[in-house]
Structure 1
């Protein structure tokens, strides 16, 4: 008999409500701080308040990985195996803390199986993987079979986005201040790709409508077997834009389903308000 498998992830993952309902993951919160004010993202600060505070702040909010103790609390439970997804280890120490918690737990519970997955992704990209894995669990697949699928998912996932502004990249020192202001003034929107755990600029477009057009072309040109795959559209406090894109995708492409998620504080700190992310798996 296949043991029950429970999914755990960290607060960097941004879920459509439909995925939360189906996969029922346990989530370890991530700390977000504006100066002296500290919050747990998604628990005691909602996205609307977060984006408002970020826009008003001269400095970017600071985020910190959940401690091993937080993971340890969620590892407790009887007669189940744990599948733990974390934000890419290239951008965060969350994976290492989850592994450390596993080692601590297994010292006293050596017979429990805990698999910690470095997603090499984040936000809605992790949500896409968790959705797929929950379907495998529901189909009765065991942990070894699921782990094989996860390695394939990491290769197959298409995850990219369009940034409305480079304001946060300028604040965070990731782009030259003068160059960033020129790009913003010219109304260029940067198209990014999230691959192998890193964020890479891949294109630019003048104006929001052109960036959406390029994003949709990217989906059409890079995703096969559309009828077997789910699209998740993430938005940084711009639901109208996400719903418009969803309508276009549903009207012109042949995906199994198209879902919408709100981008939370972790990815939102990077993208700035107005960004759109798209994950296909």
Structure 2
């Protein structure tokens, strides 16, 4: 029996970095439109090149979710498939994956395909992928595996911080004066994902040290972090990610903190120096 995990490219886990053994893994890429240029969010995408193009482009950039056919193709290559997508409240990717599942099952009704809305992105999706790998390796009833993954998804949390607001300004989500003022004062916006998968602005902090302390306080308030696995995704900001990791290990009784560079979709929204925490 061939088992496979599929995700859209907002998971930040590159296919080349997945050590799956007998479990296959594939990301279905989103597309990023910056002016006249289109970037495919696959393993080959160079993030500095994307960020440079976004900085030079005066008009708003946009994203496009994968087609149902792209998901159907990924699903058809295995007997058992678990698929994770970015929050359905942020993108049409989940709906595309569900349609792709229906297309695949129409041709191959014997297959077992589960599509789960992560209600998050980035690190939380990486944690889901790794839990799915362990469960698929262990075998057992497929519906039970999917039920366990949905319970695990509900227990995960996501928060993030931004200090570059250019994309928000260009897309009309922040007034230019506000963005300039925040940047000049060194103020970081801190937000988290709601249980429904929408974004909630939790606060603002001035300076790196205060920002990281505010993030760990938010993490502590959101759930019991004892023994939690944490994934920090960073957009071209390894030094900041290392400092945040140090703060998390100092303030919280977590099991581990892993650092992962952002792929295209999360870089598109987090912008340079953005940090996204899944736990």
Equivalence for 1:116: 115
Aligned length: 276
Equivalence for 2:13: 15
Mapped partners of 2:138, 2:91: distance in 1: 32
Post-superposition offset of 1:213: 1.4
Deviates more, 1:243-252 or 1:169-178: 243-252
> Contact 1:191/1:205 (CA < 8 Å) preserved in 2?
yes
Post-superposition offset of 1:16: 7.5
Check if 1:275 corresponds to 2:267. Answer: no
Equivalence for 2:198: 198
Q: Which runs of 5+ in 2 are unaligned?
A: none
Mapped partners of 2:17, 2:218: distance in 1: 24
Post-superposition offset of 1:166: 2.2
Equivalence for 1:241: 240
Equivalence for 2:56: 56
Post-superposition offset of 1:141: 4.2
Q: Which runs of 5+ in 1 are unaligned?
A: none
Deviates more, 1:86-95 or 1:243-252: 243-252
The two structures have a TM-score, normalised by structure 1, of: 0.89
Mapped partners of 2:220, 2:15: distance in 1: 25
Mapped partners of 2:157, 2:91: distance in 1: 21
Give the 3-state SS of the residue equivalent to 1:226 in structure 2.
coil
Post-superposition offset of 1:252: 4.8
Classify 1:245/1:17 alpha carbon distance in 2 versus 1 (closer, same or farther; 3 Å).
farther
Deviates more, 1:43-52 or 1:94-103: 43-52
Check if 1:38 corresponds to 2:63. Answer: no
Classify 1:59/1:264 alpha carbon distance in 2 versus 1 (closer, same or farther; 3 Å).
farther
The two structures have a TM-score, normalised by structure 2, of: 0.90
**For 1:72-129, what per-residue CA distance to the aligned partner results, in whole angstroms no more than 9, with x for missing partners?**
2212235x21111111111211111111122222222111111111221112221121
> Contact 1:16/1:262 (CA < 8 Å) preserved in 2?
no
**For 1:160-185, what per-residue CA distance to the aligned partner results, in whole angstroms no more than 9, with x for missing partners?**
01111322211111122222222223
> Contact 1:32/1:62 (CA < 8 Å) preserved in 2?
yes
> Contact 1:234/1:278 (CA < 8 Å) preserved in 2?
yes
Post-superposition offset of 1:225: 5.1
Classify 1:278/1:143 alpha carbon distance in 2 versus 1 (closer, same or farther; 3 Å).
same
> Contact 1:16/1:261 (CA < 8 Å) preserved in 2?
no
Post-superposition offset of 1:260: 1.0
Post-superposition offset of 1:278: 0.8
Q: Spell out the pairing of 1:158-197 with structure 2 (5 A cutoff).
A: 158-195=157-194, 196-197=196-197
Mapped partners of 2:16, 2:257: distance in 1: 10
> Contact 1:162/1:212 (CA < 8 Å) preserved in 2?
no
Mapped partners of 2:17, 2:137: distance in 1: 13
> Contact 2:213/2:247 (CA < 8 Å) preserved in 1?
no
Mapped partners of 2:250, 2:208: distance in 1: 20
> Contact 1:17/1:261 (CA < 8 Å) preserved in 2?
no
